[in-house]
């Protein structure tokens, strides 16, 4: 039987965000150059959804990662490393037959012609995820369920699982979906299915370049026209920043005494003034109002490695959403979390302290535009130490 049984009670919410997807062991080069020329590699972890979970946990949220790994040493390493960030991995399943996926990559920017990635994930444990073998009670136990289009590309069963998880049903948590189009995963497949999944979600992240490549849709307004259902659509525009289309949400900074909970998509106010994210029904109700359109410029960043920034942006935006912050601040927190990852070699890093990030987010537009961040900036004690004219 696939999917949660009708009428099944969902467990009490004790988790902020549950992330489902494949995580792999990644081998990072010891020096620049072609894979054929790199003499040695350092071991790390990589996976869009587990990256988001780790970043959220490091930022102080209750995050869980649900996936499937092999009963092997690489699976042990993944689970132990992800858990070391404070992520709940208790719902991860071990596959006794299929291996944990691994990949090797070069040190160059993913967007350049010289970038190389060698994946060894065909037939991996994660590709066997299906509607019949995932723990629905744990998946639906969070305030937000975060998914990505990478999972949909792994196998027919994985695509069926995402269709099941994004289907409208009572008790479904707010669904966050990062399109994460990876062309090499869709060779011979139909990436237009990502549009179908995006339209079934409540909060969607998509790059302008992804939408053009996967769907042939050009420009933020055209993307919103093609994806009208989500209450919040974040169109990432590279160095230009991000444009957020939101239904019924305040775009600008809140006053210092505002709780802000009413501004989370599908959120309900709580006695403590925090944001309690509701489910799909609440988000759908929020989506009935007219859009506000908020463009938030990106930061000037001295990039060390352009890998993992999209996942970090999603984590920063989700973190601010959980806090009930207005749209502009959510996108700025996304940019700051991305900047933290862009200034280190790997996919994960320690995020800036919350009060530090909040001070930067509160800068006026001119100061935000002058902000330039380089390696080590997250350790600075005062926001003013980061501000210098590019």
Q: Which of 243, 360, 339 is nearest to 291 (CA)?
A: 243
Among 311, 329, 347, 358, the one annotated catalytic: 311
Cα separation, 143 vs 276, whole angstroms = 7
Is there a catalytic annotation at residue 291? no
- SS3 of the chain: CCCCCCCCCCCCCCEEEEEECCCEEEEEECCCCCCCCCCCEEEEEECHHHHHHHHHHHCCCCEEEECEEECCHHHHHHHHHHHHCCCECCCCEEECCCCCCEEEECCCCCCCCCCCEEEECCCCCHHHCCCCCCCHHHHCCEEEEEEEHHHHHHCHHHHHHHHHHHCCCCCCEEEEEECCCCHHHHCCCCCCHHHHHHHCCCEEEEEHHHHHHHHCCCCHHHHHHHCCCCCEEEEECHHHCEEEEEECCCCCCCCCCCCCHHHCCCEEECCCCCEEECEHHHHHHHCCCCEEEEEECCCEECCCCCCCHHHHHHHHHHHHHHCCCCHHHHHHHHHHHHHHHHCCCCCCCCCCCHHHHHHHHCCCHHHHHHEEECCCHHHCCCHHHHECCC
- Taking each helix axis from N to C end, the angle separating 73-84 and 48-58, rounded to the nearest 10 degrees, works out to 30
Give, in order, the Cα–Cα distances in Å from 349 to each of 16, 59, 197, 337: 20, 11, 30, 9
Cα separation, 280 vs 275, whole angstroms = 15
Give, in order, the Cα–Cα distances in Å from 8 to each of 14, 140, 174: 18, 11, 18
Catalytic residues: 311
């Amino acid at each position: 039987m696939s999917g949660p049984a009708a009428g099944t009670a969902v467990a009490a919410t004790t988790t902020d965000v549950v992330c489902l997807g494949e995580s792999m062991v990644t081998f990072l080069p010891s020096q620049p150059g072609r894979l054929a020329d790199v003499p040695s590699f350092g071991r790390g972890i990589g996976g869009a959804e587990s990256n988001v979970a780790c970043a959220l946990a490091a930022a102080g949220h209750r995050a869980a990662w649900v996936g499937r790994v092999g009963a092997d040493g690489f699976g042990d390493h993944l689970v132990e490393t992800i858990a070391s960030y404070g992520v709940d991995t208790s719902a991860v399943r071990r596959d006794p037959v299929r291996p944990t996926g691994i990949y090797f990559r070069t040190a160059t920017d993913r967007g350049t012609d010289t970038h190389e990635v060698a994946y060894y994930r065909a037939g991996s444990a994660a590709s066997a995820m299906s509607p019949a073998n995932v723990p629905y009670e744990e998946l639906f136990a969070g305030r937000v369920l975060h998914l990505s289009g990478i999972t949909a590309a792994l196998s027919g069963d994985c695509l069926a699982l995402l269709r099941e998880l994004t289907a409208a049903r009572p008790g479904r948590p707010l669904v966050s979906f990062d399109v994460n189009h990876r062309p090499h995963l869709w060779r011979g497949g139909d990436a237009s299915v990502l549009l179908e999944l995006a339209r079934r979600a409540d909060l969607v992240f998509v790059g302008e370049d992804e939408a053009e490549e996967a769907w042939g849709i050009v420009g933020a307004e055209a993307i919103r026209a093609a994806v009208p259902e989500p209450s919040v659509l974040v169109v990432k525009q590279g160095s230009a920043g991000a444009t957020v289309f939101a239904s019924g949400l305040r775009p600008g900074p809140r006053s210092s005494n505002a709780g802000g909970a009413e501004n989370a998509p599908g959120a309900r106010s709580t006695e403590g003034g925090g944001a309690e994210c509701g489910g799909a029904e609440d988000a759908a109700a929020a989506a009935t109002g007219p859009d506000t359109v908020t463009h938030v410029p990106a930061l000037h960043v001295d990039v060390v490695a352009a890998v993992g920034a999209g996942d970090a942006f999603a984590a920063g935006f989700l973190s601010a959403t959980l806090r009930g912050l207005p749209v502009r601040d959510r996108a700025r927190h996304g940019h700051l979390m991305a900047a933290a990852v862009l200034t280190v070699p790997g996919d994960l890093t320690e995020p800036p302290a919350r009060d530090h990030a909040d001070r930067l987010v509160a800068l006026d537009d001119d100061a935000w535009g002058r902000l330039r961040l380089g390696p080590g900036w997250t350790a600075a004690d005062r926001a003013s130490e980061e501000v210098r004219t590019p």
